[in-house]
């Protein structure tokens, strides 16, 4: 496992060097002070005297996530929200776990290119360009695939065993916009007549889709 993570890290560093998305830092460190209430492009800096090693550490992607949703996948983020020391550094990671048949639904990252390294299992992955061309490939343990910045992409586990990847981003906070959720569960909602015309379906079908995507009440 250590060798796999090291290989992923090397690829990640190379990506962040040649395709940096976030602005360059202007000091050694700027650990995020998320309680500052200051609106900047990123987070305000924590007082250096209050910075500790814990600001640069996160163990949350060491183990598989518990998956209890309808799509059969779970993303465990490892970005500036979990690691304040990533503020201004322009890099982050995530772990994505998939049940057999699990899907990471079509989505975009508006602020970053993504590269995934397969830890376990195999996945069918793909992205769609602005020319509406799909690039898709089956990838397996030890292999890497890149999703260009801002383009719609997905991953699907069509195998009968669980799968997992480590995803790297050239942004401290790449942002994720799920296509279905953005269109059908926004607040306030996108008008039904817009969605029905865009998808060439009835408003009743639009409402059915919305009800299926709405968070389940406990």
- What is the pTM (predicted TM-score) of this model? 0.86
Nearest alpha carbon to residue 22 among 169, 177, 176: 169
**pLDDT of res. 89:** 94
**pLDDT of res. 109:** 97
pLDDT in tens, 4-17: 554 555 555 554 54
The answer to whether the CB of 82 falls within 8 A of the CB of 164 is no
pLDDT band at 218 (very low <50, low <70, confident <90, very high): low
The CA-atom distances, in angstroms, between 108 and each of 91, 97, 151, 196 are 17, 18, 6, 22
pLDDT in tens, 117-171: 999 999 999 999 999 999 999 999 999 999 999 999 999 999 999 999 999 999 9
- Whether the pLDDT of residue 42 is over 60: the answer is yes
């Amino acid at each position: 496992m250590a060798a796999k993570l090291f290989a992923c890290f090397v690829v990640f560093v190379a990506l962040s060097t040649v395709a940096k998305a976030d602005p360059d830092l202007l000091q050694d460190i700027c650990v995020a002070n998320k309680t500052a209430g200051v609106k900047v492009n990123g987070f305000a800096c924590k007082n250096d005297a209050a910075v500790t090693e814990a600001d640069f550490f996160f163990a949350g992607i060491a183990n598989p996530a518990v998956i209890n949703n309808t799509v059969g996948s779970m993303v465990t983020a490892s970005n500036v929200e979990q690691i304040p020391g990533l503020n201004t550094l322009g890099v982050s990671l995530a772990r994505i776990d998939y049940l057999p048949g699990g899907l990471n639904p079509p989505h975009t990252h508006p602020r970053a290119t993504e590269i995934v390294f397969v830890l376990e299992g195999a996945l069918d992955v793909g992205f769609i360009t602005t020319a509406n061309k799909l690039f898709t490939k089956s990838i397996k343990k030890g292999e890497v695939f890149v999703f260009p910045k801002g383009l719609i992409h997905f991953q699907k586990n069509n195998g009968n065993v669980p799968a997992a990847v480590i995803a790297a981003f050239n942004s401290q906070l790449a942002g994720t916009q799920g296509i279905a959720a953005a269109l059908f569960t926004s607040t306030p909602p996108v008008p039904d007549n817009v969605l029905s015309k865009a998808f060439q379906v009835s408003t009743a079908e639009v409402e059915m889709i919305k009800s299926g995507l709405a968070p389940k009440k406990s």
